[in-house]
Amino acid sequence: MDCSPPGSSTLSRPGRGSSPSRRLGNVRGAAGPSSPPGRRACPPAPGASRLSRAAREELRRRLLGLIEGHRVVIFSKTYCPHSTRVKELFSSLGVDCNILELDQVDEGASVQEVLSEMTNQRTVPSIFVNRVHVGGCDHTFQAHQSGLLQQLLQQDLAYDYDLIVIGGGSGGLSCAQEAAVLGRKVMVLDFVVPSPRGTAWGLGGTCVNVGCIPKKLMHQAALLGQALTDSRKFGWEYSQQVRHSWATMTEAIQSHVGSLSWGRRLALRENAVTYVNSYGEFVEHHKVKVSRRPGIRSVCEVCFAFFKFVIATGQRPRYLGIPGDREYCITSDDLFSLPYCPGTTLVVGASYVALECAGFLAGLGLEVTVMVRSVLLRGFDQEMAEKVGASMQQLGVRFLRKFVPVEVQQLEKGLPGRLKVVAKSTDGTETMEGVYNTVLLAIGRDSCTKKLGLEKIGVNISEKTGKIPVNGEEQTSVPYVYAVGDVLEGKPQLTPVAVRAGKLLARRLFGGRSEKCDYVNVPTVVFTPLEYGCCGYSEEKAGEVCQAENLGVYHTLFWPLEWTVACRDNNTCYAKIICNKLDNDRVIGFHVLGPNAGEITQGFAAAMKCGLTKQLLDATIGIHPTCGEVFTTLEITKASGLDITQKGC
């Protein structure tokens, strides 16, 4: 007895709504093996689920995504002999299959119910080849004997591109270029919506244009100012007044940023990647609409079909939603190309972006105030965060704690002009006002997942964060759609992470590789005037994971040699490691506040990947005199309560 009931003896595509199935040929009369006597079809399990209309449509979208995202899909049950025969057939043909065992998944009955509505076949196995419903066991063997199965397996699905990537930032470009190197036809869509102040930029995403690169260069400009101050103690004599030119700095930085953006565009061209400076929006499964203006119909709209899709749209700065914020405030999108010196500045926020910007602005000689709603550097080690704040206060940065703006008013137009900020306390009824030349908002970032049409194909998005949940292979709820970079739920929002994840994803999709991105022990640095580098757990998180009594926390203050002659504070820089006593004192948290913390942290991060322990650190001979060597001589634990202040070199 065949697994398929009468009436499903034609090959057809699963229908959408009232669309008729596409019939490719009748195999009823074809000769072929039939199921041996005594074998019974595997019908739906008793007590099939009762789905709501919305749940049924959602499941239908997911099934269509699964079917359209794979060459061969077999809906099966582990105990069904007919399913076993079909699996053995495709295995003998050397064809990889995506197999869903309905008796092994929680919603198996619901899947079979909806699948039955889509195909008019109530039993398993139910086989799809290149989006075409072949039928059950007998029909698959009949199609194989008649040659129709081989024809389906070789069918050209007529995709315009093997891969389309939306988002021209670090992760998207990394994935696109690697896929092109592997011989695939690739398109990159990148469209930058101008900020409320009208700022836009070219290819390369946040990092190149309005993030890591210009931020680090302005950080360096501020460090050079401090070096000028220190230089007098080292014998440098100069009588002329030293001044900083904002225009000269921004012109030089933007020139470099422009060269990087052009270099990325050139790299796409050299790898034969199609780059389109337009907006992308899903219109149906495996099809995206490209237009110059999101959400607006245009005669310039073009649709492209694709096999795989990667979302790498990143994030943009968040606004407060108060009167005057979009009209008069700027964000990091605007700061690095600002055509005038910002003057007296209020930075709203306590994120690393807020503190980094406040730090280099103060280092350039500007009066800077930071308005903080609650804690500094949420998600980072809070002891280190407070030390970062204290070091910035020593440089003249003023902090307003537990206040939030409620209104921004323009007092005078100009470049920069004058603004009045009205703020209220988060810890009472107190209000305050302040006048500034510039108000910089750095209160967080929102994921760019709206207006992409993701709901049309069933890609799940977190209602709370707007981010996209993925599995361990960066795969979304729709099997042929993937995501990398800052749009991912629960993953580090860092450029090197996105670059590696994108490259490895392309290799898995098109290069036969299996390596996944490792999101554990990712190092990072906050480029405040005194840099803060870290890798692994914060002390708070380590306590949650391992219990405080199982931790060994070693720490010390240290005095960089370069600071001694310059007479800079000898108890500001700080080093700390967190060890798991139950795991051979393995280092699970690394933290350093000091000059060049990023360079120090990068090296120790590699050691942590290799299983660094306290014993290995103790056995390591340090390079003298450096800041990094302090980690090879750590002896004092927090639990001991011993003094860690420094008295000399």
By annotation, the residues acting in catalysis are 624
Q: Which element (helix H / strand E) includes 72? A: strand 72-76
For the chain, state the CA radius of gyration: 30
DSSP string of 226-281?
Answer: HHHHHHGGGT----SPP---HHHHHHHHHHHHHHHHHHHHHHHHHTT-EEE-SEEE
Contacts of 52 (CB under 8 A, 6+ apart): none
Beta bridge partners of 575: 556, 592
Collapse the DSSP code of 371 into the 3-class scheme (helix H, G, I; strand E, B; otherwise coil) and give the result: strand
Whether residue 480 contacts residue 464, with contact meaning beta carbons closer than 8 Å, is answered with no
Q: How many helices (H) and strands (E) does the chain have?
A: 19, 28
Largest distance between two CA atoms of the chain:
104
| Distance between CA atoms of residues 586 and 551, nearest Å | 10
Strands 161-166 vs 302-311: parallel, antiparallel or unpaired: parallel
Rounded (10°) angle between helices 352-363 and 382-394: 20
Collapse the DSSP code of 554 into the 3-class scheme (helix H, G, I; strand E, B; otherwise coil) and give the result: strand
Whether residue 467 contacts residue 489, with contact meaning beta carbons closer than 8 Å, is answered with yes
Contacts of 545 (CB under 8 A, 6+ apart): 537
CB atoms within 10 A of CB 416: 19
Strand spans (E) along 545-618: 551-558, 573-580, 586-593
| Distance between CA atoms of residues 361 and 368, nearest Å | 7
Contacts of 500 (CB under 8 A, 6+ apart): 174, 517
Q: How far is CA 113 from the centre of its chain?
A: 36
DSSP string of 196-209?
Answer: TT-----TTHHHHH
Whether residue 435 contacts residue 418, with contact meaning beta carbons closer than 8 Å, is answered with yes
Strands 418-425 vs 403-412: parallel, antiparallel or unpaired: antiparallel
| Distance between CA atoms of residues 35 and 43, nearest Å | 16
| Distance between CA atoms of residues 509 and 287, nearest Å | 19
Q: For residue 6, give the nearest of 138, 144, 117, 143 by alpha carbon.
A: 138
| Distance between CA atoms of residues 364 and 377, nearest Å | 22
CB atoms within 10 A of CB 598: 16
Contacts of 588 (CB under 8 A, 6+ apart): 536, 537, 542, 546, 578, 579, 580
Tokens for 174? 């990394």
Rounded (10°) angle between helices 539-546 and 382-394: 170
Whether residue 142 contacts residue 25, with contact meaning beta carbons closer than 8 Å, is answered with no
Tokens for 457? 């194909």
